[in-house]
Amino acid sequence: MALRKIIVVGDKTTTSGVVLPNANSTFSVGDASHKVALIGGQASCLACKGTGIIAKAGGPRRMNFMGEVALENDIVLCKCPEPPKLVATLHQTMTYDDQAESLGSVSSAAIADQHVTAIQKIHDAGSFDEAVHVSQEGHAIDLAGLPFLIETEDGRRINGKMDANGELPRVATDEIGNYEIFWGDDALERGQ
């Protein structure tokens, strides 16, 4: 059993970066009501002075609250040659079993080689994620608060309300694929 701490907005990375807020993160933990961080969310990186996407590292099993919950030692895909890891610094009492043991056992040398190879492939191919920015010509309508629902080919559903900038959350997938976006009443009807 591999118990890993749940990462929340404001937690640090191994490069002293910070997990950034995510519009889809509506689940809070602890007395301080920290919002959980999600796979596909963003974190800053002080080493490369940029931001990167939070990606899974470790076991396959995740809690799902408006997206997969990030766990300690997940990685940030930024411009660094070796991705920084997430460190639980704010909410250290809630853990989750990622079922890493279901993957079998591998020597630490093999893990290091595979990690470098896997990360290099991700950097070479580009990560499979996309964010939509909504803009409108003509009559200005306030898009803030407009409900949306994103359905991915792998069955995930991401919903929420549009922010004032017209930006939807970044959608990350393991491979190239399509997703469909529903707006307003259509999003509300399909979300039930």
Task: Name the token pair of 185.
Answer: 């009443």
pLDDT category, 107, cuts 50, 70, 90?
very low
Compute the distance between CA of residue 98 and CA of residue 9 in angstroms, rounded to an integer.
20
Residue 129's pLDDT is: 58
Indicate whether 148 belongs to any domain: yes
Largest interatomic CA distance in the chain: 61
**Do 47 and 136 have their domain in common?**
no
**Do 89 and 133 have their domain in common?**
no
Compute the distance between CA of residue 39 and CA of residue 153 in angstroms, rounded to an integer.
17
Structural domain harbouring 157: 124-191
Indicate whether 114 belongs to any domain: no
**Residue ending a domain, choose from 101, 132, 165:** 101
For residue range 165-184, list pLDDT tens digits in order: 677 777 776 666 777 888 88
Indicate whether 107 belongs to any domain: no
Over range 79-98, report the average pLDDT. Answer: 77
For residue range 70-85, list pLDDT tens digits in order: 888 899 999 998 999 9
Indicate whether 117 belongs to any domain: no
Residue 99's pLDDT is: 55
**Do 167 and 136 have their domain in common?**
yes
**Do 146 and 95 have their domain in common?**
no
Indicate whether 130 belongs to any domain: yes
**Do 97 and 130 have their domain in common?**
no
> Does residue 98 have a pLDDT over 60?
no
Q: Model's pTM, two decimal places?
A: 0.51
pLDDT category, 28, cuts 50, 70, 90?
low
* Average pLDDT score, the chain: 73
Compute the distance between CA of residue 68 and CA of residue 189 in angstroms, rounded to an integer.
23
Residue 43's pLDDT is: 95
**Do 95 and 183 have their domain in common?**
no
Residue 117's pLDDT is: 41
The number of domains in the chain is 2
**Do 89 and 20 have their domain in common?**
yes
**Do 30 and 93 have their domain in common?**
yes
